[in-house]
Structure 1
């Protein structure tokens, strides 16, 4: 579905937002509710950005959703945790703004918009670090029926195909997945799954997609609904080509729309929210060490995240320094073969935590605690493969483990594995030596690694890396497996393996801004009228990944901060004529 093209080659608004993920839409909604008329343009044919692919979790210390669930937190503890996590990259002013405004943002969006959250039980990723907690800082977008988007429903980016089951989304909880794992073992789980499948199949027949969405798809849909209800046009398939400047200030942008250029004149400025540079190959060669040494990178984020915001900022005099040791939120992925010879990324979010799964390098040796966060495992993988042409690991398990939990895109029994074995996604060997030979792994080393691992695993111990010793490790393990939910022997063949390479969930390095989001020149002076939010803006996490939702939490918080800041500079009080009347109607008519 496409919007009706504008009738002229120029459009006026107060604020232009380039990008329709959580960063762009939270900024747009905030600015609109505070009196500005806003236009959002999106390069892709669908809105939602990387957010629509994400887990939809926000890390917000002291948030009201967790407080309502009687989960305790301390702002001082959160600040200490972030200081320890970011190290030398700790930005006190930005962190203080985040901690002050994050809870306010959550309360405001729940009160003023269609955005809703539910609490989670996620521990911080490093709960034993100073200031870390076992529960209370991560919240999740509430499920949503996307039929509420009306005619705009087809324009919502669908979830990543590899993390759905025939397009059906799972709730981001062990409780939901547990029923699918136990479908052949529990009558209750069987009927739960049967009801879910029946409802989903009806949706596919009627709408050709699932309409009851969860996770990031729910967050993107809720933000889009809020924007559209406020009369904010979202122009899809409308990439920004260049900024328009006057006397050093940014006053608009030229957008390609329906085959012609449209100049958008933005009285209060332009916000860059294009999703970072995860597919900007030239910039990645400088930022990602495994690409610099000739290795592979396969990102699951939308292919349209090609660094447009960074390019536009640099053309206006801004800077995009590569300052973090880890320039992105690393995500180990496997490449799932699809029709037509193409591949789709499968993010390894759950299988690494399950008992009976280990990860090895080509040399047949383990290199990390597989039950650590995706970012930590990815960072360890990059460094373990330093000096090698390939950055990859193999997840290994036995028949009992793959039947119970699945492995990567391969689903648990009773679903068959034959197709993925024939396509080469999965490898199988009657022995570890045969499996190693098929994968190109050192067979003797793999056999020794498994012997050493099993010696402790039979007692629930990981003697090398301590899997299952933190609350986060255990959270995504199997709570019914005793004594350690993350550790079991790799014992009974046949054995299985799949190859995992590096991907990312978005970039950490980004455009240099001040706290309010104004893009800075090299000398630290803000560029008048130009702002950056979302993954276009440099992360406040210093290249580390402290907990579930540390991307979306700051993204929405600083979208809220930036939207309010721009509206205040414009001296337009909330509820003014702009919110009620003619100027937004003029922009809306341009849809």
Structure 2
């Protein structure tokens, strides 16, 4: 028998966009339901780095930086390019800071400005060396009570010791505990906290990165009175007299009709986990790997299309790209997105099947992924020496002088050889080409100038390199045997192709008219960056901002009094 439930608002999906919309609406007094089809809340936000890009925000002042609307608009115009829809970009730039103030005043979300976090294209006018990229403050998972068990856990690459979350600052301290008293104190606190947590919880409760953001949004939704259902799959939108008035769903295998007085919000995460759609819209090769959670298969887009919604046919790229390596020791493997931690460090090159470099290894991950797509590379190889792997790690291999490597070698994830010729044979590239590239890289390391790809020229690349390495923080020799390699494939951290919306995040039909009662945000909304990647956090920033705008619009529709 079909159950019937009535709400003011129904939100499909529990990532940053969906929870921001739900919480904003609920804080204005609306009765809100969030449905999540998997067993876990948080979506791709929970497994992300958690950075939120908000230009011209007030938190910048605390780190001595100042931005302006004009600078942000100029930078975005130059980086987004011809695909930019100005009305959407203006809505984002004009409301991002207001969203941030609202969240800090009324919810458990707390973000902090990063003084040094350069935008990804510092050659473009209007870029900032920091301040726009905001990080979630650490969140105590114990504040979620029993809901902590239902929060999607972070990626394996974001944890140490099987369950202790760490960010870049934590890693630096843990690596220097033996040589620095402040690092010893910080690292000891982390370890003792984690040991205490494991007596009561399956993982550490000190949450950072995207897990902290997802947890704080989940706590905020609960505090605001949002109803949250797991194991609930949206099936079909309900339309009456041209207006979306709810949806048909399936909750734990039973049909349920969800009536929505004010609107339905689609925030189901895009289609990154749908292999067929990835081949059709992202890249045709099956070796393309996605980091998207298993539930992100494009159902929100399908439901909207069935009621006449317009889906943007193509962006410059239909996904946010990154190289991804995969541990092949179990079904499905363990995947690692090479975002920040290894590619820009001195002493690494990436080579193609011909054993030749093909990209500036220190460029942002989206540009690296673009290079692989544009050159039709199904795989590439990151090559380093023993000094590098012990100091910086490589992919899933953590740094550490005495870190055991046997499991990585036996699985085939990591290749090891006493000579470059032997390593070339292991990864299947011409030995003479690899030797020439390494010799050339070593000359560049001595001079500090990459004559082929300009690695280490920009402020962004310096930020990710090794600040203590001279003369170029991104260039180092590959000279100390044994030598190592990890194979990477083109991949993504989510999709950018989605529903066409207006500046209020209302879904538009194929004639450009708003469909009454239907909204979209997050990856269900076509990226306002049109398939480009101007800086860290340009997915979560718009997701939260347009989620906030949706919540406000629904509150206005209900006649609710606005909150400051």
Normalization by structure 2: what TM-score?
0.96
- Give the whole-Å Cα distance in 1 for the aligned partners of 2:544 and 2:186: 34
Aligned with 2:451 (options 455, 463, 470): 463
Q: Does 1:550 align with 2:512?
A: no
2:423 is aligned, of 435, 438, 443, to: 435
**Contact kept in structure 1, 2:71 and 2:127, CA below 8 Å:** yes
Partner residue in 1 for 2:363: 372
Give 2:409's aligned residue.
421
Q: CA deviation at 1:472?
A: 0.6
What CA distance in whole angstroms lies between the structure 1 residues aligned with 2:322 and 2:174? 24
Alpha-carbon distance between aligned partners in 2 of 1:184 and 1:487, rounded to the nearest angstrom: 27
Contact 1:181–1:405 at 8 Å: present in 2 too?
no
Query: Equivalent residue for 2:212?
Result: 218
Q: Distance in 1 between matches of 2:200 and 2:523?
A: 35
Q: Distance in 2 between matches of 1:485 and 1:499?
A: 24
User: Which residue number in structure 2 is paired with residue 199 of structure 1?
Assistant: 193
Out of 374, 391, 416, the residue aligned to residue 378 of structure 2 is 391
Rounded to whole Å, the distance in 2 between the matches of 1:436 and 1:186 is 39
| Structure 1: gaps (5+ residues) | 1-6, 576-591
Map 1:142-291; keep pairs closer than 5 Å: 142-165=137-160, 166-171=162-167, 173=168, 175-183=169-177, 186=180, 189-190=183-184, 192-289=186-283
Q: Is the 8 A contact 2:2 2:257 kept in 1?
A: no
C-alpha displacement of 1:377: 0.7
Cα distance, 1:195 vs structure 2: 3.6
- CA contact under 8 A between 2:2 and 2:255: conserved in structure 1? no
Specify the SS of the correspondent of 2:257: strand
**Contact 2:289 / 2:324 at 8 angstroms: preserved in 1?**
yes
Pick the aligned partner of 1:401 from 388, 401, 425: 388
Residue 317 of structure 2 corresponds to which residue in structure 1?
A: 326
Q: How far, CA to CA, are the matches of 1:564 and 1:188 in structure 2?
A: 45
Quick one: structure 1 residues 399 and 183, their matched pair in 2 at CA, closer, same or farther if it must change by over 3 Å? farther
8 Å Cα contact 1:332-1:378 kept in structure 2? yes
Q: Distance in 2 between matches of 1:188 and 1:98?
A: 40
Q: What is the root-mean-square deviation in Å for CA atoms of aligned residues?
A: 1.6
Query: Equivalent residue for 1:541?
Result: 529
Q: Secondary structure at the match of 1:12?
A: strand
Change (3 A) 1:188 1:70: closer
Alignment partner, residue 135 of structure 1 = 130
**2:25 corresponds to 1:13:** no
Mapped partners of 2:386, 2:177: distance in 1: 18
TM-score (norm 1): 0.92
Q: Distance in 2 between matches of 1:140 and 1:191?
A: 23
Q: Report the counterpart of residue 557 of structure 2 in structure 1.
A: 569
Cα distance in 2, alignment partners of residues 392 and 163 from structure 1: 24
SS in 1 for 2:447: coil
Is 1:122–1:138's contact at 8 Å kept on the other side of the alignment? yes
Cα distance, 1:269 vs. partner?
A: 1.3
For residues 64 and 402 of structure 1, the distance between their equivalents in structure 2, rounded to whole angstroms, comes to: 40
| Distance across 2 between alignment mates of 1:158 and 1:91 | 35
Deviation at 1:380, TM superposition (A): 1.0
5 Å matches for 1:294-305? 294-305=285-296
Whether the 8 Å contact between 1:114 and 1:223 is mirrored in structure 2 is yes
What number of residue pairs does the alignment pair up? 559
Q: Secondary structure at the match of 2:149?
A: helix
Instruction: Provide the residue aligned with 1:588 in structure 2.
Output: none
The corresponding residue for 1:581 is none
